[in-house]
Amino acid sequence: MARFVFITGGVVSSLGKGLASAALGALLQARGYSVRLRKLDPYLNVDPGTMSPFEHGEVFVTDDGAETDLDLGHYERFTGVAARKTDSISSGRIYSNVLEKERRGDYLGKTIQVIPHVTNEIKDFIAIGEDEVDFMLCEIGGTVGDIEGLPFFEAIRQFSLDKPAGQCVFMHLTLLPWIAASGELKTKPTQHSVKELRSIGLAPDVLVCRAEGPIPDKERAKLAMFCSVRPERVIAANDLKSIYEAPIAYHQNGLDQAVLDAFGISPAPRPDLSPWRDVVDAIHDPDGEVRIAIVGKYTQLEDAYKSISEALTHGGIANRVKVKVEWLDSEVFEHGDPAPNLEGFHGILVPGGFGERGTEGKINAARFARERKVPYLGICLGMQMAVIEAARNLAGIEKAGSEEFDHEAGATRFEPVVYHMKEWMDGSGRVETREAGDDKGGTMRLGAYRASLTPDSKVAAIYGTEQIEERHRHRYEVALTYREQLEAHGLRFSGMSPDGKLPEIMEIEDHPWFVGVQYHPELKSKPLDPHPLFRSFVRAAIEQSRLV
């Protein structure tokens, strides 16, 4: 039976609850325990799948096809535990489930209310798989006091009462602001946040305080007294140069010991943090530096490409170099020569996206990389744009384009080198069908699918195998109609779906490193296990840096 840690936040958002949860999971693993992490989000969207990246950052996709909050990416990167559909829930999904049951008559004519029907649905979700792990870590999105979060706070209060004493621990993350004018660290915001938490029946067992530096003994004692928390369970969460320092920093500040003490686990196994020390050492003592340009559509918000940014860092760790990422808006390359903006980079990465805006700039970036022999990695839309570029400028298909852009414009302007998928086979062999007019949410090709690699291809050498499984999130595919024309000019489809109908990978043969993939390899990369494509891409960038 799992022990439960509920992580809540107060004062302000974006303090790092997701990172604290992930780091705690890694620390418990380092002590030999098994863990699973969950995110409970109060927003009314059923999932983040239809949200703009500017609104909510990237959408993280699980193997079983769930579109989830980006914090699940942190959970996977720090613990290596593959997230599932049952690890992410929103108010929208909870209310949808309740209303579906009401329509079916499952409640036997009762009046449907937040308590007990909504809270019971939340509790049922929290309990899924509780017999599988030693610790279940559940992060509640938003901050205490948010009106939309109240059903979740009530549900975890009830859940803790349903369980035997000592099986649930509450960890509250707050802000300790430093007021420069008075030279003081202020505890009052944290006191008020804990007061708000206690007013709804919850009391923190562990208090994690985001602060610029160590918490002085005087302020720690004050927090302990006014928040009814033991002094040793008031934990400092300091700013770090790298998020991958978090497990070591939190351990040094006593987080994992405080949680274990709250559960009454003593003595506890000592943690083995040597793998994390190796990661931090590689980050802080690199042997060189490479410059990578990310040419994207949502570059104003780095969280829109969070997993890509982290995967590049992992590639740097694997090669012991610092990867300096620069974010370039693809619309800048719509007209004119992209060379002034792209010269001097050791690699170019074009990520995924939706819609026509900025795509001509991505095509121009792919052409620059192909012609200048600069390492190129195209992901999802980035692969499609590379194929369109080759179709136009190598195979002579002047009007090569995507059905996606014709659908947006309501006209036929392109020869569809990229088309809207209407049918494909899922991982279990079942045929999935979609139409262009279907609902946007949850209707893409989502989750893990297998691919077969050409034996003598570059990607087969990179992966070290001819069979792979990667995560997808797209509704448009490269058409095989022009395969012969493209391959005659050096573009090779070196990875295909098992039935041979869907191109998964393309590469340029006469190029040091030019690869496009229809899937999202960044979603499976971890600091302790960098993804092979990012490891190889950064290595190619190192070689390029020696030529520049």
Residues marked active site are found at 380, 520, 522
Closest by CA to 215, choosing from 198, 232, 192, is 232
Q: How far apart are the C-alpha atoms of 306 and 304, rounded to whole Å?
A: 6
DSSP for 361-398 reads HHHHHHHHHHHHT--EEEETHHHHHHHHHHHHHTS--T
DSSP code at position 128: T
- Whole-angstrom distance between the N-terminal and C-terminal Cα of the chain? 58
Closest by CA to 193, choosing from 180, 184, 204, 183, is 204
| Per-residue burial over 338-356, b = 16 or more CB atoms within 10 Å of its CB, e = otherwise | beebbeebbbbbbbbbbeb
Instruction: List, in sequence order, the alpha helices (H) in 108-266.
Output: 119-127, 150-162, 188-199, 217-227, 246-252, 255-263
Distance of CA 422 to the CA centre of its chain: 27
Closest by CA to 335, choosing from 300, 363, 356, 355, is 363
Helix (H, G, I), strand (E, B) or coil at 1: coil
Helix (H, G, I), strand (E, B) or coil at 229: coil
- Token pair of 513, please? 């490193």
The H or E element spanning position 469 is strand 467-474
Distance of CA 355 to the CA centre of its chain: 21
Q: How far apart are the C-alpha atoms of 88 and 126, rounded to whole Å?
A: 10
Helix (H, G, I), strand (E, B) or coil at 189: helix
- Token pair of 108, please? 């036997």
Q: How far apart are the C-alpha atoms of 478 and 419, rounded to whole Å?
A: 6
Report the DSSP pairing between strands 35-41 and 376-379.
Answer: unpaired
